[in-house]
Amino acid sequence: MDFGSINPVLLLASLMVASTPILLAAMGELVVERSGVLNLGVEGMMIVGAISGFIVAVESGSPALGFVAAAAGAAILALLFGVLTQLLLSNQVATGLGLTLFGLGVSSLMGQEYVGMRPPSLQRLEFLGLSELPIIGPILFHQNGMVYVSLALVLGVWWFLRFSRSGLILRAIGENHDAAHALGYSVIGTRFAAIAFGGACAGLGGAFMSLVIVPQWTEGITAGRGWIALAIVVFASWKAWRVLLGAYLFGGVTVLQLNLQAAGFAIPVELLSMSPYLITILVLVIISSDKRRAAANAPASLGRSFHASN
């Protein structure tokens, strides 16, 4: 074992990159669930965003257009979920699972001709020489632009939910959609907007996988990160800053196990590879042990269908 081969600065810099797709998807799902909608189709939306962004980036030569296409493609898929659950009143859990299966299938079909191709590279941002600063420079000031977008998203969602009028309306709908409707607020319209936003964020997370982290197209590229994003929202008690903490915890474990493999740590590779998921499950079990606290933090109308005649 060679622990000297693990560079803590590179480890922290890689942590931010590995956490970004989960953070993007989880922040979108946070907004969706705060509106009272439970969308279990995050994995499907992420992988549709991954292939949509990859195709557009390869064909246009522009990673930026790839991210736009990823957000749009996943948002369209999310709106399909919205039509089924908000207008046709289908079961949200079953529809979300179906959305994931549909996303996995359609992404496989779309990506058949793009296996093995390389997308155009996305340059890291430089901040007036700040990347040359010792320790913090490579960690904070020499990252891909989407890393900063994900951090800005955390701040924006926190402010939106806590201080904006629209955010307060969204939270009110998530807590009691009947009372919000009685006050004249558009429950369906607000939830559609939240669902589309959540889909767009999941699409960006998927595109970050196929354009930055991997950068190529392979089936199942998201590798369960959509499910991890769902778990992190619960872990975070539906609070934005805790989502950031949960995403970076998972990203840190993921990067650490890769570094331990490289250092020759005497643990089976399979066990190290599954460690991020095992730790996520362990955290959820600990949180779930306090059912009263979990119920108190969850939006009261989460997963419940709304009809104006109710």
277-300: b (≥16 Cβ within 10 Å) or e: bebbeebeeebeeeeeeeeeebbe
CB-based contact 52:204 (threshold 8 Å)? no
Closest CA to 75 of 199, 173, 171: 199
User: Would you state the pLDDT for residue 9?
Assistant: 79
Q: What mean pLDDT is predicted for residues 48-63?
A: 96
Quick: pLDDT tens for 205-214: 999 999 999 9
Quick: pLDDT tens for 179-223: 999 999 999 999 999 999 999 999 999 999 999 999 999 999 998
Quick: pLDDT tens for 263-287: 666 666 666 667 777 777 777 677 6
- CA dihedral in degrees (156, 161, 162, 164; nearest 10)? 80
Start-to-end Cα distance in the chain: 64
CB-based contact 21:213 (threshold 8 Å)? yes
Question: Quick check: 35 pLDDT over 90?
Answer: yes
Cα separation, 114 vs 54, whole angstroms: 9
CB-based contact 211:54 (threshold 8 Å)? yes
CATH 1.10.3470 fits 3-114+142-297, yes or no: yes
Helix axes 225-235, 8-34, angle to 10 degrees: 70
The encoded tokens of residue 92 equal 């949200």
